[in-house]
Amino acid sequence: MRLSMPVLFRMRVIPLILLLAVVFATLLNWPVLLHFYQILTALEHVKAGFVISIPLVLIAALNVVFMPFSVRYLLKPFFAVLLITGAIASYATLHYKVMFDQSMIQNILETDSQEATSYLNGTIILWVALTGVLPAVLLFMVKIDYCAKWYQGLIYRLLSMLVSLVFIGGVAALYYQDYASVGRNNPTLNKEIIPTNYIYSAARYLQKTYFTARIPFQTLGDDARRTAGNGKPTLMFLVIGETARSQNYQMNGYTRDTNAYTVREGDVISFADVHSCGTATAVSVPCLFSGMGRKHYDAEKAANSEGLLDVVHKTGVSLLWKENDGGCKGACKRIPTIEIKPTAGNNMCDGETCYDGVMLENLDAEITATPGDKLMAFHFIGSHGPTYYRRYPPAFRHYMPECARSDIENCTQEELVNTYDNTVRYTDYVLAQMIDKLKKYADRYNTVLIYVSDHGESLGENGLYLHGTPYKLAPEQQTHVPLQVWMSPGFSAAKHLDMACLKNAAAHNAWSHDNLFSSVLGLWDIATQVYDPQLDMFRPCRAG
């Protein structure tokens, strides 16, 4: 039995494609039109014809792009999917200023289901239902009239595309300088047009990920050896934070006591000027461990190469990675890993996510499980949005009122900042607990903790929320990250570190994720060709 949708009206295929172009240009591309409005209102002189031409050129361009997909049996399912995905992209662009470049597509595709559901709320569901699902349903209720002869249909399609191209050419002849000027001064506009932005970026990502010949796997630091040691073993905690921005750190000049717990520990050094490798976890974490540096980072090469932890492991150091943020993005694929399961019935978890305090559980057993030197890496969920309020227990609702919802653009700025600052304060609490744990092992190990966030976060500044903006365009809030270091007296003495020198360097020098690779190798006294002494932030403060 064949099910069929009721027919609302009949329409020829060429006018239907033009209608779809109008819907995409005026409804789903509303964020782009708003961006144009903001640009044009800031100009001193604007031609009326140029302003009027903008949505018409967009309609004509989309008509050209859509026409090849107007064939029978493909048209309805193809454009139904585009309408729904376009509605999602439109919401993200309008409310969070998300830009769907290749890095953002990678970030989306590598996001786990629990993290993805945190973005759901009543507002986005209503938006997608009205601007995506409803038009898609109406599309299936249209009876489309196709030409009887295939070549007639081809001719009409080509004529429609030709008319659109002629119109675009005519507008270009009249207003080329205006379009060129706006385009040069606003290079992101071409990445904001829905659906071409995310389709193109997704195609590039899939082509590069699945249809490009993999490069041979590269080993790294095969010559690595320890040049010191054989005394008291070392225990290092390497903590990778999530979505923490330096601007909200008390130790870096923020007026609130967001570092209330680590301040009490004493001797915690905060590096004030540190910038990330990327603006999303999928880029920053593998880049940070690759040793390539931001300017030379290649995701494919990093995925097929050993990294920092592999080099350290080659020198006899025991390794363990504890994961609470949905995946290590390849950084831990060859070392023992404990992945925290939110559904395991732990009292620190709610079935979908876990507080970072869960990292402290079973820590003694994990430390004593192997003898000798140890590096334990911890991947926090930290300040991951938009559901910031789910990143800390009720007892840590320090700043109130909070923004207890995922559609954060509907919270006041005070509520949003309060909630975000609570996440930073809770992360600080967990780090202080880890330092306390390391202090208890100071009689058996030389102990050290390094904490660095993967990227920062926008909290509504200039209309931007969350993260993932292309690096060249990203605001300081998304790239300026905290980095903190604590060392036991035994560790600093064993490494001949001048702590006053280190505090001065942390306060006055500029650093980045590029420094972490060689800095960690340096603290382990590992000699290898992949170690760069110029990037070791501790080396200038070591005697001898």
Domain CATH code at residue 398:
3.40.720.10
- Nearest in space to 115 (alpha carbons), one of 282, 255, 232, 278: 282
> What is the residue type of 157?
R
User: Do 367 and 309 have their domain in common?
Assistant: yes
In degrees and rounded to multiples of 5, residue 388 shows phi and psi of -60, -35
3 falls within a domain: no
Per the CB < 8 A criterion, the answer to whether 466 and 96 are in contact is: yes
Q: Which two tokens mark 485?
A: 């270091």
- pTM (predicted TM-score): 0.82
3-state secondary structure of 12: strand
User: Do 154 and 280 have their domain in common?
Assistant: no
Cis amide linkage into residue 475, ω under 30° from 0: no
C-alpha 506/C-alpha 504 separation (Å) is 5
Listed in sequence order, the residues at least 6 apart from 275 whose beta carbon sits closer than 8 Å to its beta carbon are 479, 480, 481, 510, 511, 512, 513
Q: Read off the DSSP letter of residue 523.
A: H
**Domain-ending residue, one of 153, 179, 210:** 210
**Domain-ending residue, one of 154, 178, 210:** 210
Distances (CA, A) of 188 to 27, 98, 106, 241, 469: 20, 11, 18, 29, 10
385 falls within a domain: yes
Q: Give pLDDT < 50 ranges for the chain.
A: 1-2
Strands 465-466 and 458-459: antiparallel
The confidence score (pLDDT) of residue 183 equals 79
In degrees and rounded to multiples of 5, residue 204 shows phi and psi of -65, -40
C-alpha 454/C-alpha 240 separation (Å) is 7
User: Do 109 and 174 have their domain in common?
Assistant: yes
DSSP calls for 390-445: GSS-GGG--SSS---SS-GGGS-HHHHHHHHHHHHHHHHHHHHHHHHHHHHTTTTS
User: Do 265 and 151 have their domain in common?
Assistant: no
Q: Which two tokens mark 5?
A: 């949708």
User: Do 185 and 255 have their domain in common?
Assistant: no
174 falls within a domain: yes
User: Do 167 and 293 have their domain in common?
Assistant: no
**Enclosing H/E stretch for 85:** helix 75-96
The confidence score (pLDDT) of residue 350 equals 87
Burial code (b: 16+ CB inside 10 Å, e: under 16) for 508-528 equals: eeebbbbbbbbbbbbbbbbbb
**Domain-ending residue, one of 140, 175, 210:** 210
258 falls within a domain: yes
User: Do 239 and 200 have their domain in common?
Assistant: no
Listed in sequence order, the residues at least 6 apart from 522 whose beta carbon sits closer than 8 Å to its beta carbon are 531, 533, 536, 538, 539, 542
**Enclosing H/E stretch for 339:** strand 337-339
User: Do 479 and 376 have their domain in common?
Assistant: yes
Q: What is the rounded end-to-end Cα distance, in angstroms, of the chain? A: 85
Residue with tokens 């306390």: 436
Per the CB < 8 A criterion, the answer to whether 97 and 463 are in contact is: yes
- Domain with 333 in it: 233-541
C-alpha 453/C-alpha 241 separation (Å) is 4
User: Do 237 and 201 have their domain in common?
Assistant: no
User: Do 304 and 193 have their domain in common?
Assistant: no
C-alpha 175/C-alpha 186 separation (Å) is 17
C-alpha 301/C-alpha 287 separation (Å) is 10
3-state secondary structure of 206: helix
Quickly list H helices, 213-327.
260-265, 281-290, 299-303, 308-313
In degrees and rounded to multiples of 5, residue 71 shows phi and psi of -80, 155
4 falls within a domain: no
Q: Which two tokens mark 282?
A: 């999928």
User: Do 176 and 276 have their domain in common?
Assistant: no
**How large is the C-alpha radius of gyration of the chain?**
27
Residue with tokens 């998300």: 98
Residue with tokens 């899939």: 206
User: Do 492 and 397 have their domain in common?
Assistant: yes
543 burial via Cβ count (<10 Å: 0-12, 13-18, 19+): exposed
- CA dihedral 263→280→321→288, nearest 10 degrees, is -80
The confidence score (pLDDT) of residue 440 equals 96
155 falls within a domain: yes
- Count of domains in the chain? 2
Per the CB < 8 A criterion, the answer to whether 282 and 288 are in contact is: no
Residues listed for the chain: 544
Distances (CA, A) of 454 to 242, 353, 374, 462: 6, 19, 22, 22
**Enclosing H/E stretch for 106:** helix 102-109
C-alpha 531/C-alpha 238 separation (Å) is 18
216 falls within a domain: no
Listed in sequence order, the residues at least 6 apart from 379 whose beta carbon sits closer than 8 Å to its beta carbon are 240, 242, 285, 321, 322, 323, 324, 325, 328
